[in-house]
Structure 1
């Protein structure tokens, strides 16, 4: 992707989807461009903190695993997010830890047993071209670096002045148990006869979910979110974590690449800190919502 650099990663293989992500491009709503950025921002920032990078440094977001890269030059790296096996030239290394790869060594990320997205960060960050101030790929708008392909060369930026202070981070395990997510009702909960159904039902993550949003299904025969009003709303702004309900009554929770406007009513919004939980929810995982005060 960039011309040869003193330090770089050569992509040998990718999984279902590998994209470059940072914390996104805020401040462009007026031009119709959303923030985008890492779907699981907590895992991205953790990887960068481990390496003493700026939290906004670009890294690889890898769906399910399957990424293989070759170090060009000596690189320090960390893998966070979904608990996937990681090795350097077939030698296993720890997850959420600082690891060194020597020139020519291959970093392999296997398939995660739980969760959905892992993050490969390198000390110095990935120095790929920025678009509107961000190196993130927005899959909805189609801007930013293209999804990774075998043969891509990812230049590594200059190392930061500080050094990692710890070798590994204790992190809560990501599992496959039912997930409880906090929400704040509104702004359009009055559009539904019983908005509390959102919290009394157990929802299941649909295979149609992606970086745009997590689609949820309800069990057959379970109560649904029924409209109290006819017609549709005028188009209005959409926020990260918005729980939008189309006429089917099956909600969609917006993730990083969500549209910035929409016409379906938003019954609630997921608490910001819990959006990362949904970003790691695999298809088939059960989700329950818990209301909290505004």
Structure 2
């Protein structure tokens, strides 16, 4: 049976979603994930205040491309009217859906009354979501956490009340805000939400999926409609391809060769420069190199070169050298 969001977004039998990640899930990164089989993606989360003020950084995050579909624009904020207005702005960018972030735990979001902070005020969360749902013709989805802390795990109430006002899917990260990204994600509450006979929208699980085996085991154990993957895809977009192959065949796919790692890194760099320009594109790509070549022995010297070189041509030469030097290495 296909998982659908609203009337028109058909995600297939068991979709793999790319989590929205600040400073990571921009168009260049989304491109390499799409090439590796991800079923649905989201923009980085975008500040509703930034959109209304017409801030250049927020506006740039609205860039989406046809090949990325289906794609959602994710927004966050603390002011209901600003969230309503920003959903109208997002609708004009023509995504497939709008997602509201009620999960981000970081201080400069949660401590300003946005993101996971709304888990402390469910009435306001409901009112904000209702305003967004009513302001757009697009399906609205939500990403959240189990609760604010161990004493306020209120995701059951959140799921029912947000479904009642019209959201079309819910992604749940299996931690509280207090946990940030520490400890282990607890998916048992996600399963309980899915089992609730009142819940009929898709429920996606998020948190700690970092291997083919875990994806397969948790699919069975926690009964979710799909899996959202974040940190495990950074520098390793092949995770989507590998999980899908395992689901389809029961067999483990070989990991990427050094040549593949170099090729995808090169593609990511090229897209980064196309989208951001030479200077910013090269600078912002630096955070990704260590992840693409994780596990390669004696790599430090190459990494130092990659994060200091200033031109596309010089970086290409180093990537060629990496491919040549480590061609026999299996990571």
TM > 0.5 fold call: no
Higher helix proportion: 2
TM-score after normalising by structure 1: 0.24
Higher RCO (CA 8 Å, separation ≥ 6 residues): 1
Higher strand proportion: 1
TM-score after normalising by structure 2: 0.22
